[in-house]
């Protein structure tokens, strides 16, 4: 029950005083009988009430603020007439129409009216009896309705159930008044003074704590027995709510008393600590506590922080554990737990940034845009970790930086090269002296957001643990989208959510990556650049960057397309552009030195000026063009720094049929040479070679640049072609290169790194390339402008390779060799 009106008008406990000082008594049974016999006027002015329902016999104060309501009350009070009080269906309606009013209301008379200082009118109304609206006659200047009275159906005088129900209503109402701290005790006296069951129902219904629609429903119930049942239900519900509210308040009061006790003890402890070690630490602790209140972090972390802060308060500042605990708490405060930067998902802008920073790499950019599109639509990072794989200098790391700029996120780069301690990833337990968090969490702290773009650079360079754990295995949890939502750092000792971080890994050699780690990432291959692409990159990116870094501009140095091509072909040999960047930097420094020393130089250098600036040419495309020697073949190889041409030369000398292989080779390449020799011996007739030669001559196969390690099966067909040329003394076609693995059955198998090998062939001015038939699909995925000027031969068997690679022309000294060895027929078929 609310009984809020009793707070404002004290006389309502037993009645309402008239202006002369006499009381209006509460309604009795006799008053009810007299009201039933009174006739109602056919038309009544209607006063709409907001959030209030008036019951017969009840006296309530109301405040009228609407002009129409004030005018109606003035008119009724002046004429000492009656008015109909009807509740609005929606209390927020300022100017209610006829459709906004209920159809059942209460006839009322004005007991007292007076003006308020704010211009509103306060009136005291007493309900008389119910009525039902038949129709609305007019709405101006006030709402007038045609009404008829509505009588309640009283239970029989001997209805014991109704009497018991009324006793229960009175008992529950008195119990609510007794337990409530908001209802005055005088309200209980009022309820005990009521002798009419009808008025008791109306009085309780009017003052109970219920919604307007429920009170209106009670007013509309004709049968008093049914109304009493509904009232008792609502009173019991209110009693239960009040009991629950009191329990909660008692619990809160107990908790507050406990907090006061703890606060008192903390104050005592603070005084003791001040005596022992000074009070400067208390300021730090309070500052930490204030920061902790402002932090947006999970509830579990908040509880842990409060617990650890309590530990800090109990530690003597003079002992080492104090600084350890303080550093730990400061690290917790500095970590961005739920702080994230807002993503910019304008994919067209992202595409512009990627195109601005990187030339070419269309497939890579397309995949990154797909990744961002899925992130925009899905809203989380449950997606594969991207691993950009390719030779050095092609822009893997800078792609991550561009993605961060496009998304508007913090950019973090963590180099993993040479990292060999698992604690570098997971951190040390804080109980150790000098303990620190892992580099992963340190970088998250620097990012000041829990969703940065995190580039794991050179993930293939992770070193073995060497007794300090395996860092590659520690990365398994970091790069698993299903696990990294609770990454455990040994120093932090609690799970941290890394699922919002956009991880991008880079690698040069997939074979060096832990297999389980590689399985968690989506490999995106980034191939090397063609000469044409390098020219564009140098002109649009490298030269302007170097000019800016050296304090110059384009008026001080300009490099033509021909000069850039010449520099690329004769001073660099790489798949990326890092070496080219260094060469251009040297040319810019030459210009800067000339300007500083006031020496003349060419702002637009010609081809003949380049050697003066950069020195002699470092690389030559035609250094192995001599085809007068049998057994010299050009192969194509893949290296960690991109594709390269691989020269294979073989020679023969009198001996006992031994095979020697030199050139810093791995086991796989040595096995390829053995396979090629075995196949040649088995098919000597098809190659036109006398079988006796294999027993009387030693064969030596050499791979120049012996200091460079070489391995892999890609040189298989090149080795066999070299041996076939050597024993048959037939020339190898000019400008021809090849790559492919061979089997003892003479099949040619596919190999990898096709694009890098093709770029190396173009740098060496190769015109024809022999590949396995199953590598044809790789060629179709390469842009057509990369393939311009190249002819491809797709083969399945080794004899096809020999037919394409060897011409019918013998080398220049073949006749002399044959004359010297005519006894056994060297170079001729037996």
Binding residues for ATP: 390-397
Q: How far apart, in whole angstroms, are the C-alpha atoms of residue 48 and residue 86?
A: 5
Hey, is 618 helix, strand or coil? Answer: coil
Please state, as a whole number, how many other Cβ atoms lie within 10 Å of the Cβ of residue 508: 19
Q: 646 - beta bridge partners?
A: 635
Token pair recorded at residue 360 = 């070419």
What is the chain's length?
A: 830
User: Within 13 Å, how many C-alpha atoms sit on residue 318's CB side?
Assistant: 6
User: CA nearest 720: which of 650, 812, 809?
Assistant: 650
User: CA nearest 329: which of 311, 353, 350, 347?
Assistant: 311
Residue 223: DSSP 8-state: B
Residue 538: DSSP 8-state: I
Residue of 196, 672, 714, 722 marked active site: 714
Dihedral angle over CA of 454, 458, 460, 462, nearest 10: -80
Residue 541: DSSP 8-state: I
Residue with tokens 């009170």, as numbered in its chain: 215
Burial of 186 per CB tally in 10 Å (0-12, 13-18, 19+): middle
Helix (H) or strand (E) run with residue 64 in it? strand 59-64
Hey, is 378 helix, strand or coil? Answer: helix
Residue of 500, 534, 757, 762 marked active site: 757
Per-position DSSP letters for 138-193, written without gaps between them: E-SSSEEEEEEE---BPPPTT-HHHHHHHHHHHHHHHHHHHH-SSS-THHHHHHHH
Cα 748-754-756 angle, rounded to 5 deg:
145
757 is annotated as an active-site residue: yes
How far from each other are the two terminal CA atoms of the chain, in whole angstroms? 122
> Beta 104-115 vs 82-87: how paired, if at all?
antiparallel
87 is annotated as an active-site residue: no
Token pair recorded at residue 520 = 């968690």
Q: How far apart, in whole angstroms, are the C-alpha atoms of residue 92 and residue 154?
A: 36
Q: Is there a contact between 562 and 605 (Cβ–Cβ < 8 Å)?
A: no
Q: Which residues are annotated binding-site positions?
A: 390-397
Q: Is there a contact between 751 and 713 (Cβ–Cβ < 8 Å)?
A: yes
Hey, is 321 helix, strand or coil? Answer: helix
Kindly list the catalytic residues: 714, 757
């Amino acid at each position: 029950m609310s009984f809020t009106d009793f707070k404002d008008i004290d006389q309502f406990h037993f009645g309402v005083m008239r202006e002369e000082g006499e009381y209006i008594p509460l309604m009795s049974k006799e008053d009810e009988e007299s009201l039933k016999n009174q006739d109602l006027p056919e038309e009544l002015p209607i006063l709409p009430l907001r959030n209030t329902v008036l019951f017969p016999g009840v006296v309530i104060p109301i405040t009228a603020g609407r002009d129409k309501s004030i005018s109606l009350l003035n008119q009724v009070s002046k004429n000492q007439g009656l008015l109909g009080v009807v509740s609005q269906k929606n209390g927020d309606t300022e100017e209610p129409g006829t459709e906004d009013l209920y159809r059942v209301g209460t006839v009322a008379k004005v007991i007292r009216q007076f003006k308020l200082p704010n211009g509103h009118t306060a009136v005291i109304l007493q309900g008389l009896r119910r009525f039902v609206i038949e129709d609305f006659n007019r709405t101006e200047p006030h709402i007038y309705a045609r009404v008829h009275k509505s009588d309640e159906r009283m239970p029989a005088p001997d209805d014991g159930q109704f009497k018991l129900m009324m006793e229960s209503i009175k008992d529950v109402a008195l119990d609510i008044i007794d337990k409530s701290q908001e209802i005055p005790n005088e309200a209980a006296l009022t309820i005990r003074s009521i002798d009419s069951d009808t008025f008791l129902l109306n009085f309780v219904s009017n003052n109970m704590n219920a919604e307007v629609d429920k009170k209106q429903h009670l007013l509309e119930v004709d049968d008093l027995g049914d109304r009493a049942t509904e009232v008792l239900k609502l009173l019991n519900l209110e009693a239960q709510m009040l009991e629950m509210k009191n329990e909660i308040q008692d619990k809160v009061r107990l908790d507050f008393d406990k907090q006061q006790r703890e606060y008192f003890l903390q104050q005592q402890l603070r005084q003791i600590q001040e005596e022992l070690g000074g009070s400067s630490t208390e300021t730090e602790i309070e500052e930490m506590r204030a920061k902790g209140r402002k932090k947006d972090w999970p509830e579990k972390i908040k509880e842990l922080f409060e617990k650890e802060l309590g530990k800090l308060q109990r530690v003597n500042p003079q002992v080492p554990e104090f600084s350890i605990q303080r550093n730990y708490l400061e690290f917790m405060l500095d970590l961005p737990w739920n702080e994230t930067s807002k993503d910019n998902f304008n994919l067209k802008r992202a595409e512009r940034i990627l195109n601005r920073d990187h030339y070419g790499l269309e497939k890579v950019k397309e995949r990154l845009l797909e990744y961002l599109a899925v992130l925009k639509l899905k809203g989380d990072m449950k997606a594969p970790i991207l691993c950009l794989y390719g030779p050095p200098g092609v822009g893997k790391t800078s792609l991550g930086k561009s993605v961060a700029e496009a998304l508007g996120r913090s950019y973090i780069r963590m180099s993993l090269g040479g990292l060999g301690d698992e604690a570098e990833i997971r951190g040390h337990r804080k109980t150790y002296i000098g303990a620190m968090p892992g580099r992963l969490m340190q970088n998250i702290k620097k990012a000041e957001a829990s969703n940065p773009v995190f580039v794991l650079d050179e993930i293939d360079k992770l070193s073995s643990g060497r007794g300090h754990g395996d860092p590659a295995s520690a990365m398994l949890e970091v790069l698993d989208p299903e696990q990294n939502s609770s990454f455990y750092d040994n120093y932090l000792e609690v799970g941290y959510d890394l699922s919002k971080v956009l991880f991008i890994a880079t690698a040069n050699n997939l074979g060096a990556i832990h297999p389980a780690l590689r399985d968690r990432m989506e490999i995106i291959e980034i191939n090397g650049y063609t000469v044409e692409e390098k020219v564009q990159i140098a002109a649009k990116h490298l030269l302007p960057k170097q000019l800016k870094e050296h304090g110059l501009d384009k008026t001080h140095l300009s490099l033509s397309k021909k000069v850039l091509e010449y520099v690329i072909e004769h001073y660099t040999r790489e798949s990326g552009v890092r070496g080219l960047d260094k060469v251009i930097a040297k040319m810019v420094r030459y210009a800067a030195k000339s300007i500083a020393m006031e020496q003349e130089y060419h702002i637009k250098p010609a081809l003949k000026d380049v050697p003066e600036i950069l020195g002699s040419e470092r690389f030559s495309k035609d250094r192995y063009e001599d085809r007068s020697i049998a057994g010299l073949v050009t192969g194509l190889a893949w290296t960690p720094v991109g594709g390269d041409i691989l020269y294979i030369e073989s020679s023969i000398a009198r001996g006992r049929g031994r095979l020697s292989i030199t050139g810093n080779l791995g086991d796989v390449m040595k096995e390829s040479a053995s396979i090629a020799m075995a196949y040649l011996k088995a098919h000597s007739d098809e190659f036109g070679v006398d079988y006796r030669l294999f027993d009387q001559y030693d064969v030596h196969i050499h791979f120049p640049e012996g200091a460079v390690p070489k391995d892999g099966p890609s040189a298989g067909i090149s080795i066999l072609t070299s041996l076939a040329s050597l024993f048959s003394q037939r020339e190898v076609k000019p400008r021809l290169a090849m790559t492919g693995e061979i089997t003892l059955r003479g099949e040619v198998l596919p190999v990898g790194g096709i694009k890098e090998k093709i770029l190396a062939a173009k740098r060496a001015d190769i015109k024809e390339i022999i590949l396995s038939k199953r590598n044809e699909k790789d060629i179709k995925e390469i842009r057509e402008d990369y393939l311009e000027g190249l002819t491809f031969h797709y083969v399945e068997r080794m004899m096809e390779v020999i037919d394409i690679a060897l011409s019918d022309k013998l080398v220049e000294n073949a006749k002399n060799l044959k004359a010297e060895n005519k006894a056994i027929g060297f170079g001729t078929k037996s």
